[in-house]
Structure 1
Amino acid sequence: MKQSVHANILAITQSGRLEFEAIILMASLRRASPDWCGRAILAEPRPEGAWAGHQTTLSDAGRAILTDLGAEILPFTATTFGAAYPQGNKIEALPLLPPHEPFLFLDTDTLITGPLDAIKADFSRPAASMRREGTWPQPPLYGPGYGAIWKSIYDRFGLDFDSSLDLTQPDEHWERYLYFNAGWFVGNDPVEFGRRYLEWARALRDDPHDELACQVMDPWLDQVVLPLVIHSFGGGRPGADLAGLDGEITFHYRKLPLLYALGTETQIAQLEEAVADKAIRRHLREWEPARKLIYQRKGREKVRPLFEGRPLPRQERAIRNQIRAKGWWLV
């Protein structure tokens, strides 16, 4: 059954960059999707457990702004990943959400650009973002290849490998194999989804099998395990019903300079309008990327002209390097 995305959104926040990105996320949600009435839950790791010795608590000013924007800030204690692998926050925070209810996880560096309530999706069929590059695996010269590496993981967890393949892609081409960007994913039971995600991610981290011997798992572990979890719940590549995510409704910009490099004029205007409020502006100006790129307009004046009217490099790394070479890689 297809359901509107009115249920529960989950994103991660903590002191520093994620606090400021969470404010952008929430401000853009309220501006671009005013009729959306679901819960927006921001998971805040406590400075204990796997985050012991690190400052994770939001500032009082940031917490007040996020609360005013309608966010529910819920603390959790990370026990498995924490500071050693911050991407694991998304895995360990999923049980904060109510069980047996549809959910949408969003990376905090996401701009809402359209009405989330316009999306109708069958959440019983999990899916995730296809806005990715062939970052993992990197098969060694003499093997194993893509197929053998991926099949070994499916076999380890008792999953059917062949049904996950995109047979329109050639053998040993990375897009043949189920691989997502973990910037957004959906499902219909966050507690069970999170339990399986944590169990399998911990297993691959702690006991990598032979086919993974030459593979780098950090920072890719969450994206390696995500397709397996999605496939195990009967999900797969997103269909047209989720096209608005990474489309007209959300923009996973990753880093603020990339928003000015890759975003449309409309998306950049939506960002700037969303954070024009006096209280938001006062707080975001404490964060150098926002102060210089948004409020001092260096994103428009310095970053955007590097790419405007020219073909973009095919790999994001090349775009980052061009911005960095000009001194505007502010993150």
Structure 2
Amino acid sequence: MAGSTADQAPLNILIVGQSGRLQYEAVLFALSLDAATPEGRTRLFVAEPQPGPLWEADPRMGPEACDILRDLGAKILPFESRHFGQPYPYGNKIEALFALPGGEPFVFFDTDTLITGDLSEIPFDFARPTASMMREDTWPKIELYGPGYTQTWRSLYDRFGLDFDSSLDRSWPDEYWQRYLYFNAGFFFHECPHRFGRRFLDYALSIREDPPAELVCQSLDPWLDQVALPLVIHSLGGGRNTLPEGMLDRTHSCHYRAMPLLYARESDELVAYLEAIAAPNRVKRLLKEHEPFLRYIYQGRGAKVREMFDRDDLPRREQGIRNPLKRAGLWMR
């Protein structure tokens, strides 16, 4: 049930690395994992999509990023993009699952995450998967004369023969978004990546290719993975908060999503941690190639962002951070 300790097998950690932004984020993720979790307690796998008809250009990482990742103990796993690729790169997190060793527990993280605590301390219950609860009401978007939350979500549970009523959080009122099972896909876990991946793939393809009529007004780009994910988790016996509150997404990880959001929201201690792991010359030379890292970490733009916000009184919604930064010319993704 729990994460690995000295007498247990290392915990398999999966991220996706590819050319562009993700390769730099993958290196930063690996640096943070190496700094926060003692050697031997985790195994980092970096899944890398391979060139093929679904990619316009070669999606593989550059040689220096690969070398640094390997030196940090990561294993790079090539995988083929058979269903998503360039048209829907968020599908990488689905297809990458099949590159992992089958039958072994895993934790997936988005690359735009820092590990800030020893992951082997987390009591994962791999038979009861969950995902990040740090989400906003991004889907569905309810139209005035269209289906409501209940009708929209019920149509999906009915599609896959799932019990909709048992997924509800009845502490929230009917037709309020938090009543319905919904996650951010920034992390998730299960006892078998192939079983989870097959369910995730089947549900996502069914929704994409033949959406229920109730989804006629809804966008699935970029939300397809986050629409399918709660259905997968519910179908596998998981749900909300199967982890102790405050570990992932707080004490042991930070899903920063974009450098300006990190500098606006996070603690002085986390900013110092980020800048320390990004300081070695070899790392710095690579990370400076990614303009947001160059501007915010190394050229002081992050300090300007921090001056704009009170960490003890942040806007309730992310848009309340993004919009002032855009007006100030300090937004970059």
Classify the TM-score, shorter chain.
over 0.9
Secondary structure in 1 matching 2:124: strand
Identity score, percent = 53
Partners of 2:161 and 2:311 in 1: CA distance: 49
Equivalent-residue separation in structure 1 for 2:176 and 2:124 (angstroms): 29
Corresponding residue for residue 188 of structure 1: 191
Give secondary structure in 2 for the equivalent of 1:104. Answer: strand
Partner of 1:100: 103
The equivalent position to 1:60 in structure 2, one of 60, 63, 81, is 63
Partner of 2:306: 304
Structure 2 match to 1:26? 30
Instruction: Say yes or no: does 1:4 pair with 2:4.
Output: yes
**8 Å Cα contact 2:183-2:229 kept in structure 1:** yes
Verify the 8 A CA contact 2:129 2:188 in the aligned structure 1.
Answer: yes
* One-letter amino acid of the structure 2 residue matched with residue 311 of structure 1: D
Residue pair 1:303, 1:328 contacting (<8 A) in 2 also:
yes
> 1:291 and 1:188, CA in 2 relative to 1: closer, same or farther beyond 3 A?
same
Question: Tell me, which stretches of 5 or more residues in structure 1 are unaligned?
Answer: none
Alpha-carbon distance, 1:36 to partner = 5.1
Q: How far apart in 1 are the matches of 2:12 and 2:38?
A: 16
Mean Cα displacement is larger for which, 57-66 or 123-132?
57-66
Residues 234-273 of structure 1 mapped to structure 2, 5 A cutoff: 234-241=237-244, 243-273=246-276
1:285 aligned residue (279, 284, 288): 288
SS at match of 1:247: helix
Q: Give the deviation of 1:309 after TM superposition.
A: 5.5
CA distance in 2 between partners of 1:250 and 1:278 (Å): 25
Q: Which moved more, 1:142-151 or 1:34-43?
A: 34-43
User: 1:326 offset after TM fit, Å?
Assistant: 1.4
Is 2:89 aligned against 1:86? yes
Q: Which residue of 1 aligns with 2:226?
A: 223
Contact 2:129 2:242 (C-alpha < 8 Å) held by counterparts: no
TM-fit CA distance, 1:56 = 1.0
Following TM superposition, by how much is the alpha carbon of 1:34 offset from its aligned partner in structure 2, in angstroms? 2.5
Q: Which amino acid aligns with 2:330?
A: W
1:174 matched to 2:177? yes
Residue by residue over 1:260-287, the C-alpha shift from the partner in whole angstroms, topping out at 9 and shown as x without a partner, is: 0111111111111111111101111111
- Cα separation, 2, equivalents of 1:315 and 1:55: 36
CA distance in 2: counterparts of 1:189 and 1:54, whole angstroms:
31
SS of residue matched to 1:83: coil
Instruction: Map 1:195-210 to 2 at 5 A.
Output: 195-210=198-213
RMSD: 1.4
How far apart, CA to CA, are the structure 2 residues paired with 1:312 and 1:36? 38
**Deviation of the 1:239 alpha carbon:** 3.2
TM-score normalized by the length of structure 2: 0.95
Deviations 1:227-250 (A, max 9, x none): 000000000012343631011000
SS at match of 2:250: coil
1:105-116 alignment, distance < 5 Å: 105-116=108-119
Q: Secondary structure at 1:50's aligned position in 2?
A: coil
Spell out the pairing of 1:119-158 with structure 2 (5 A cutoff).
Answer: 119-158=122-161
Task: Determine the structure 1 residue equivalent to 2:50.
Answer: 46
Which deviates more, 56-65 or 158-167?
56-65
Q: How much does 1:110 deviate?
A: 0.2
Q: Which amino acid aligns with 2:25?
A: E
The TM-score normalised by the length of structure 1 is: 0.96
Distance 1:204 1:294 in 2: 40
Deviation per CA, 1:203-222: give whole Å up to 9, x if none.
11111121000111111110
Question: Where does residue 21 of structure 2 map in the other structure?
Answer: 17
Check conservation: 2:264, 2:305, Cα contact below 8 A: yes
* Inter-partner Cα distance in structure 1 for 2:187 and 2:141: 23
Deviation at 1:143, TM superposition (A): 3.1
String of CA shifts for 1:145-196, please: whole Å, max 9, x gaps.
1011001100010000011000101000000000000000011111011011
Cα separation, 2, equivalents of 1:49 and 1:166? 43
Deviating more after overlay: 37-46 vs 5-14: 5-14
The answer as to whether partners of 1:128 and 1:181 remain within 8 angstroms in 2 is: yes
